[in-house]
Each structure stands twice: as C-alpha cells, then as structure tokens.
Chain A
Amino acid sequence: QKEVEQNSGPLSVPEGAIASLNCTYSDRGSQSFFWYRQYSGKSPELIMSIYSNGDKEDGRFTAQLNKASQYVSLLIRDSQPSDSATYLCAVSANFGNEKLTFGTGTRLTIIP
C-alpha cells in the first residue's frame, strides 16, 4: 500500500522565522508531489507542486524534492500568522493530479 508520512505536529514557529515541513513517501515510482494548505473547516488549496529533483521557489515558499531518499519538504520563509494551518503532502504515480495519496498533515502554528 502506498504511504505518505508526515509529522503530525503541532509545529510552532515564531513569526518571521523559517518553517520547515517534511514528508516521506513509500512508492519509488511516484512522479508528482504537491503541498496543500488547509485552514480549519475549509477545503485544501494547492500551494506548491514539484516534479523533478531539486528546489522550486514561489514567493515565500520553497519545495524541495529528493527522489533517491523519497523525501519532499516545504520551507516557508518569513512566516506569517496567516500561514497557521495544516499542510498536507500529496503524491501521485502520474504526472498530474490523478489519484493523489495524501499524508495526514502537519499542523503549523505561527507565534506572533
């Protein structure tokens, strides 16, 4: 069974610091990797996608992928209180959103 593992947290980070979220996956054939943010009581929203080894930056967010180690991470720079949410890692065997396998999520709290 394909698995995606995340530390459930909660992870507390001071405002302005870097938040680091980690995810490991079991299916070595996985091709697409996503980070979703989910506010309490809301639906998930996509914040980053990454498909090849290395780093991908978008504003304050950086996704890092290491397929050899089956590891994907999300860095949030200059953390803001509005970043407080649960972050879900999701993985697909295909190049796209087909049949995503989600982790259980990491709850992040930014402390003002």
Chain B
Amino acid sequence: NAGVTQTPKFRILKIGQSMTLQCTQDMNHNYMYWYRQDPGMGLKLIYYSVGAGITDKGEVPNGYNVSRSTTEDFPLRLELAAPSQTSVYFCASWTANSPLHFGNGTRLTVT
C-alpha cells in the first residue's frame, strides 16, 4: 500500500491564480481530511469527508473547495490564491480502529 499520496510536493502561485492539490489513498478509508499548517503552528482543519459524495467544512474553509467523487480521491481546490494561503497542506485519511494516516504534504507559496 502506498498510503496517502499528495501531489505536488511544492508549488509557487501568483496572487489570483488557481490550482488543485491532489490527494489519493489506497486503504479504502471512508474519512478524509485536509489540514493546513502555518509556520510554527498546529494543524487547522479546512474540509473533511466521511465518504464519497459527502463533504463538510472544517475550521478554516474560506478560499477553498473540495469534492469527493470516489473513496480514493479528495482534491482541494484554491480558486483565487492569496498570500494568506501560503502554508503546508496535509491530506489525511482514517478508518475506525486505526491511526490517522497523513500524506507527505504540499508546500504552497503564494506571491
């Protein structure tokens, strides 16, 4: 199993550009999450999904959108990138009686 795979690893965006952060897991987990981590800070939940076709907002959803058309994939969309979205983004998945599985992260810089 590859676990949770995130692409790209790094990205630099100009203000106003859009992009999609990809996340896929091969563990058949129902729950998937997007977190962001600003320098020296903890993780804040952006969006989460409890299964295909179901998504919900987390603590900091503004400026982001998600979709969950399959169990495996949970992409995160930034429509109009702003400097405040400069962060490291972690995707994670979970199922009962298992730990939270994190991807390796995407480091995004908006200038």
Contact = CB atoms under 8 A, between A and B. Distances in A.
A8 B40 contact: yes
A55 to B, nearest CB: 20
B53 interface: no
A44 B40 contact: no
Interface residues of A, number: 22
- Majority secondary structure, A binding face: loop
Categorize the interface residue count of chain B: 20 to 34
Contacts, number: 50
Contacts of A44: 43, 90, 102
Given A99-B48, A100-B45, A104-B42, A46 B104 contact: no
Contacts of B105: 42-43
A27 B102 CA distance: 25
Nearest to B105: A43
Interface of B: 31, 33, 35, 40-45, 48, 58-59, 90, 94, 96, 99-100, 102-105
Interface of A: 4, 6, 8, 34, 42-46, 49, 88, 90, 96-105
